Structure 1
Amino acid sequence: MKKPFYKSWLFWVVVVLLGSIVGQLAARNKPDDQTAPSATQQAQRTAAADTPADQAAGNPSVSWESAIKQIAQSDTESAQKADAVLVLAKNYSPSPEELQDFESQIVEEYNAGNYLAHIEDAEYMLVNLFKAAVVESIHSDGEPVRAFASGFSHNISNIFRGTDTVEGTSIKANEAEMDKTLAEMK
């Protein structure tokens, strides 16, 4: 199975370089600049907006659905959108019922053959990426549902970022592994 993208040394070099560039640009900007926040910053703010303190204060909360809609509609590159959704998923704590819904929904999308069929629909792809990343982050290593969610999210991420094609060998290899884990889940 292909090594996850975040374990690649090249990924971390790019992250450090981008972080350095963003840090330098931010240091140059004056506080009164009205620059648009990045998709990742929007996702972090959105995730932080739905705290118990906000709810107790009567502040309206922002759902993950609306956060993903904002990210999908942003003018950022696909890779940045995917990264923002992964940040949002990492900080998200679903209820047990919602987690079960996410699990069944990603399996349904895979079985129906839809999960890579709407590549041009950013919101659709990002919602599926979010659900799979949440499922993957909640379950422990060795659980078939985690392995399935991992393959699902990697395939969506690679297709959405444009680093692979639907007929690519790594996509097909992940799908073969996903089929095996589906059999274990039943």
Structure 2
Amino acid sequence: MVNTLVNILVLITLISIIMIVVFLLLAVFHFIKLDRIKALKMLKFTAIPIIFMILCMLAYWDISPEYEVNKANVANTSEKEPVAKVETEDVTWQDNVKEIASLNSPPTEKFDTIVAYAKKYPATKAEIKEFEDYIIAEYKNKKYLADVQNDEYMLGNIFKSTVVNRYYGEEETPINDFVFGFYQNSNYTFKGLESTNSNAIKYNERQMDNALVAIEN
């Protein structure tokens, strides 16, 4: 309602200004033609739009505080609306693995994506231990290369082994060596660089067996 009233006052003010200009121009025109009577009439007519303009300005000043408050409320409302619409949702590493696995991309791109994510993943010590136990168990039951076409499973293994290796860094320990072998074999077979029975895979597994003995002793 206030906005509408302000718009009407502005419109009347603009019309009044136009009328003032027109009457003044007519007055000047009649003065030039030495018709002082008509010129004075035009000047008198000029007083009418001037009065309207003054009244509109007074009315605007009277309602302007309310108008400014209304604008402020609208601005505050528009600023707060997006905040109300924001939804927080915890995305787990499992969700990311599943999403990457579902991409219509070649294995190499999926591998690069999951490794990049794993290198930034803020793993807890509990997760590191969980991943280590899982990797050892998957290797022992010979499941880790049983289905290299299963993108979600293979990417999950690559993710876990990358996280563990990043945690230990360059530290030469049996668990780090074992997990690195697990990572290499998962990497090569997932990308199709090696078959599951290749000499390179078997060599890595022999090294992993040695590391596993050291871990369990």
TM-score (norm. length: structure 2): 0.58
SS state of the match for residue 159, structure 1? Answer: helix
Q: Which runs of 5+ in 1 are unaligned?
A: 1-56
Question: In structure 1, what is the Cα distance between the partners aligned to 2:193 and 2:94?
Answer: 25
Given the alignment, which residue of 92, 97, 101 partners 1:63?
Answer: 92
How far the C-alpha of 1:88 sits from its partner, in A, is 0.9
Name the CA distance, whole Å, in 2 between partners of 1:134 and 1:95. 10
Give the C-alpha shift of residue 58 in structure 1: 6.5
CA–CA separation in structure 2 for the residues paired with 1:169 and 1:93? 35
Contact persistence 1:155–1:171 (CA under 8 A): yes
1:148 aligned residue: 178
Higher helix proportion, which one?
2
Is the aligned partner of 1:117 residue 2:146? yes
Which secondary structure state, in structure 2, belongs to the residue aligned with residue 125 of structure 1? Answer: helix
What residue is the counterpart of 1:80 in the other structure?
A: 109
Q: Does 1:174 align with 2:204?
A: yes
Written as runs of structure 1 = structure 2, the 5 A alignment for 1:1-186 is: 59-140=88-169, 141-186=171-216
Give a deviation string over 1:95-120, Cα, whole Å, max 9, x none: 11111000000000000000000112
**CA RMSD across the alignment:** 1.2
Report percent identity of matched pairs: 32
CA displacement at 1:142 relative to structure 2:
0.7
Q: How many Å separate the matches in 2 of 1:94 and 1:74?
A: 24
Query: How many residues of Structure 1 are paired with residues of Structure 2 in the alignment?
Result: 130
TM-score normalised by L of structure 1: 0.68
Q: CA shift at 1:61, angstroms?
A: 2.1
Q: Which runs of 4+ in 1 moved over 6 A?
A: none
What is the CA-CA distance between 1:66 and the residue it aligns to? 0.6
Q: Which has the higher contact order (CA 8 A, sep 6+)?
A: 1
Q: 2-side partners of 1:110 and 1:82: how far apart?
A: 20
| 5+ residue gaps, structure 2 | 1-85
Alignment deviations for residues 139-172 of structure 1 (CA, whole Å, 9 cap, x no partner): 1421111111111011001000000000111100
Q: Distance in 1 between matches of 2:115 and 2:174?
A: 21
Match of 1:49 in 2: none
Q: Which string of whole-angstrom CA distances, capped at 9 and with x for unpartnered residues, describes residues 53-95 of structure 1?
A: xxxx872121111111010000000011011111111001211
The answer on whether the counterparts of 1:139 and 1:145 sit within 8 Å (CA) in structure 2 is: no
Cα distance in 2 for partners of 1:70, 1:147 equals 29
